[in-house]
Amino acid sequence: MKYVDEFRNSKSARRLVEDIRRTATRRWVLMEVCGGQTHSLLRHGIEEELRDTVELIHGPGCPVCVTPADDINFAQQLALRDGVTLASFGDMLRVPGNQRSLLDVRTEGGRVRIVYSPLDAVALAQKNPDQHVVFFAVGFETTAPATALAALQACELGLNNFSLLVSHVRVQPAMKALMTAPGNRVEGFLAAGHVCTITGFDSYREFVERFRIPVVVTGFEPIDLLEGIRDCIQHLEAGHAVVANQYERSVRRDGNEFAQNAVNRVYQIEDCPWRGFGVIPDGGYRLRTEFEQFDTRARFPFDECRVIASNEKTDCPAADVLAGRLRPNECPHFGTRCAPDSPLGAPMVSSEGACAAYFRYRTTTPEKMPQNSSVSPEEAAT
């Protein structure tokens, strides 16, 4: 398949692995920010292949995992309220709040609808004027434009029965928080390619200048990740603090200006709690005053809905996993008390969670990268 097979070519991957080994004079510590990158690194055995050359730390790039429990609790209360339908992406349903999940609430009779787009929630509100439809707006900069467009469309339609429970978060402030945290060991970042399609890679200039480390934007296929690791190590070996864009087929210097304009029109940046991290300065978004009629918190006040996430009581050390201080398989509950069918925390639930990746790929044989048709069986065997 064009634009896929060439980024899974086993011969190219072997060459990149050897390049990385030749380049590194010591074991460097890199963090891949996005959960999608984590899954690919484990799925294709890249982390294991390079374990003696590079230490890969799994970052907090799973928006479902960092959504505060209090926001989930609030969503559950709304779903149980007469005349309210909560619309959400499917990956939020099994994420626990303090006590239960939206899936539990739905089995109790709560009105929870799975949608595939924020605009689906707008359409749901149009078709059901007797219900107030709340869309649970979760995600990084990647999904914020779509919810901004939903707010703009609802405004244009004059919908009075639609609102957004906004829990969008921003990646770069979390990276800053990690860099300033006690005991931080990160020496370079593999930045999230999908986020950078919106923000652009030039947005990391100030970050790189402040912390004097390289940031390489990568995609999610094996070749993307190996090239990103190689480029990051080359810059580290040369002592260069730079922003590099390895994901040129999708990411531009200035990003997607249309998407940025939509977000800036609807949202403003605010300090925001991340689950397990506490409040991160400039870590999220809230609706601007002119869109307050679509703010669920204004429509349905709930005094406790923004309690600082670090006060949560749980047996799940998700905060340490998300900050890269603990590998999932080092958790005493991993694979016993905590598994995908009975998760203690969000990192085991989400399709982008690091614990789910370890459970899926560290207990099975990693997949081999598909051969490109130009590689002969003899070449593949060498």
Q: What angle do CA 18, 327, 336 make, to 5 degrees?
A: 125
Residue-wise over 352-376: b if at least 16 C-beta within 10 A, else e? bbbbbbbbebbeeebeebbbbeeee
pLDDT tier, 363 (very low <50, low <70, confident <90, very high otherwise): low
For 158-195, how does the pLDDT look when each residue is reduced to its tens digit (9 = 90+)? 999 999 999 999 999 999 999 999 989 999 999 999 99
Check whether 123 has a pLDDT greater than 50.
yes
For 320-355, how does the pLDDT look when each residue is reduced to its tens digit (9 = 90+)? 888 888 899 999 999 899 988 888 888 888 778 899
- pLDDT mean across residues, the chain: 89
Which range (27-31, 105-109, 346-350, 371-375) has the least confidence?
371-375
How big is the chain, counted in residues?
Answer: 382
Question: What's residue 381's pLDDT?
Answer: 31
The beta strands (E) that lie in 302-355 are given as none
Question: What's residue 367's pLDDT?
Answer: 52
37 to 149, 162, 354: CA distances (angstroms): 27, 34, 10
Three-state DSSP state, 75: helix
CA 221 to CA 86: how far, in whole Å?
A: 34
The DSSP annotation for 241-304 comes to --EEE--TTT--SS--HHHHHHHHHHEEEEEEEETTTEEEEEEEEEE-GGGGGGBHHHHS--TT
What mean pLDDT is predicted for residues 103-122? 96
pLDDT tier, 302 (very low <50, low <70, confident <90, very high otherwise): low
What mean pLDDT is predicted for residues 59-78? 91
pLDDT tier, 275 (very low <50, low <70, confident <90, very high otherwise): confident
Check whether 371 has a pLDDT greater than 60.
no
Domain ranges of the chain: 68-168+256-311, 318-361
For 202-236, how does the pLDDT look when each residue is reduced to its tens digit (9 = 90+)? 999 999 999 999 999 999 999 999 999 999 999 99
Question: What's residue 316's pLDDT?
Answer: 85
- Which residues, in sequence order, are bridge partners of residue 32? 58, 190
Pick the more confident residue, 314 or 354.
354
First to last CA, the chain: 24
Question: What's residue 307's pLDDT?
Answer: 39
Check whether 309 has a pLDDT greater than 90.
no
- Which residues, in sequence order, are bridge partners of residue 274? 278
pLDDT tier, 379 (very low <50, low <70, confident <90, very high otherwise): very low
- Considering the domain delimited by 68-168+256-311, tell me its CATH architecture: 3-Layer(aba) Sandwich (3.40)
CA 273 to CA 307: how far, in whole Å?
A: 8
